[in-house]
Structure 1
């Protein structure tokens, strides 16, 4: 499986570690930068490229996932999620990494290089890469609602139970 990586200066050490770890574990890592430490670099430059590469691979039918890394992982997640076709989840535990794949079919994971040890973050990435999407109908439906909104900008209809909620008369 191909794994695209992008980071900023705060994630550079982990990205470099993951490049070697991925090779050692049979993955095909692709480094989208940065390639040298620059304390004032901008994460969107690298994370958008990693997201674009994952989306392009998947559009071509290739098995591909991505990892974006920053100080907290928040900005990197936001940047990656701007790429059409990307669902990037912030992982801060093994459970959140697994749920990102199982329930959300996330194709990029974001981790915070200043939030955890290199060992913990490597484990979060490993769990993300090895966990399959559940294909449960409810998760497929929810992903479909988000995808439809991306395309149409129309909100999904409220469920009947929400229309009967507190103080509502049924008009939406």
Structure 2
């Protein structure tokens, strides 16, 4: 599996560790930078490229995921999610890393380098990469709603159970 990586200065050392760890564990890391420490670098430059790499690989039929790393992981997740077709999830525990794959079929995981030890961060990435998406109907349906909205900009219809409350709130009852 190919794994695209991007970070900012806060994730530089952790990314370098992951490149080695991924290689040792049979993955093909693709490092989108940065490659030198710059306290003023901008995470979107690198995280957008990592996310685009995942989409390009998947469009080509390749097995590919991504990892973006920053101080908290928040900005990096936001950046990755701006790439059309990407679902990036912030993982802060093994459970959130697992659920990102099992429930959301996330293609990119964001981790906060200042939030975890090297061992914890590596474990979050390992869990994310090794967890398959089982394809349960309810999750496929929800992902489809997000993909449709991303393409059309049209909100999914409200379920019948929500119509009464929404109509009342809008004065349509």
Partner of 2:153: 153
For structure 1, the residue ranges without an aligned partner over 5 or more in a row are none
| C-alpha distance 48-165 of structure 1, shift in aligned 2 (>3 A) | same
* Residues in 2 aligned to 1:134 and 1:29: alpha-carbon distance in whole angstroms: 24
Name 1:114's counterpart in structure 2.
114
Name the counterpart of 2:144. 144
Match of 1:21, SS state, is: helix
Aligned to 2:68: 68
Query: How far off is 1:85 after superposition?
Result: 1.1
Superposed, 1:10-159 pairs within 5 Å as 10-159=10-159
How big is the alpha-carbon RMSD for the aligned residues of Structure 1 and Structure 2? Answer: 1.5
The ranges of structure 1 where at least 4 consecutive aligned residues each deviate by more than 3 angstroms after the TM superposition are: 169-172
TM-score (structure 1 length as normaliser): 0.97
- Report the Cα offset of residue 134 of structure 1: 1.9
For residues 63 and 166 of structure 1, the distance between their equivalents in structure 2, rounded to whole angstroms, comes to 42
Please tell me whether the aligned partners of residues 72 and 114 of structure 1 are also in contact (alpha carbons under 8 angstroms). yes
Aligned length: 172
Gapped regions of structure 2 (runs ≥ 5): none
